[in-house]
Structure 1
Amino acid sequence: MCLLAFFFFSGRIRLPDDNFQIQLLHYYWLPVITVMAGAYLIAQGFFSVYSMCVDSLFLCFLEDLERNEGTMLRPYYMSGSLWRILNKS
């Protein structure tokens, strides 16, 4: 995103619409830094949600191991693929 913003604000990338006129900036680093900060915040928010989901799945796996025995009366509720990923027997 930073490279695209740099090339756009420095005038090296043009939009296909001929009616749109971009003014060349003398100091185009400020919009590039703003785009960089915005892209970082969006990516950080996305990955923090993803990290929370992975942590929740792992905690549910640990709770399932602690509360259940894998017998007919108290079976495990985790999926078989998760069981194979963690090499449990």
Structure 2
Amino acid sequence: MVQHSTEDSTTDVVPSEFPKQLDIAQVSVYGLSFFSAGLFQFLPLVNLLHPSPWQRWIRTIHGMGAMYALLYRSFDSFLYDFSHRHVTR
């Protein structure tokens, strides 16, 4: 039986290209790439929860530097205010 297609017909014998069948290798590669990208996005969270020893040292050094900078700024501000408070014109 031959099906003739007219301009009004909604059924055609011509196969459409959609949907395409994907092979298992392509699906696996895409799946693994999305999975590895997702793991890479959560890597900073893992580092915050379980920092390595050198990250702990860096955090300690940075904290001490920030504390010293705060003390220096406070003392410098005090000296600046003290030196300008007693200036008479």
The answer to which structure has the higher helix fraction is: 2
Larger radius of gyration: 2
Same fold, judged at TM 0.5 (above): no
- TM-score class, shorter: 0.3 to 0.5
- TM-score, normalising length from structure 2? 0.39
Relative contact order higher in (CA < 8 Å, ≥ 6 apart): 1
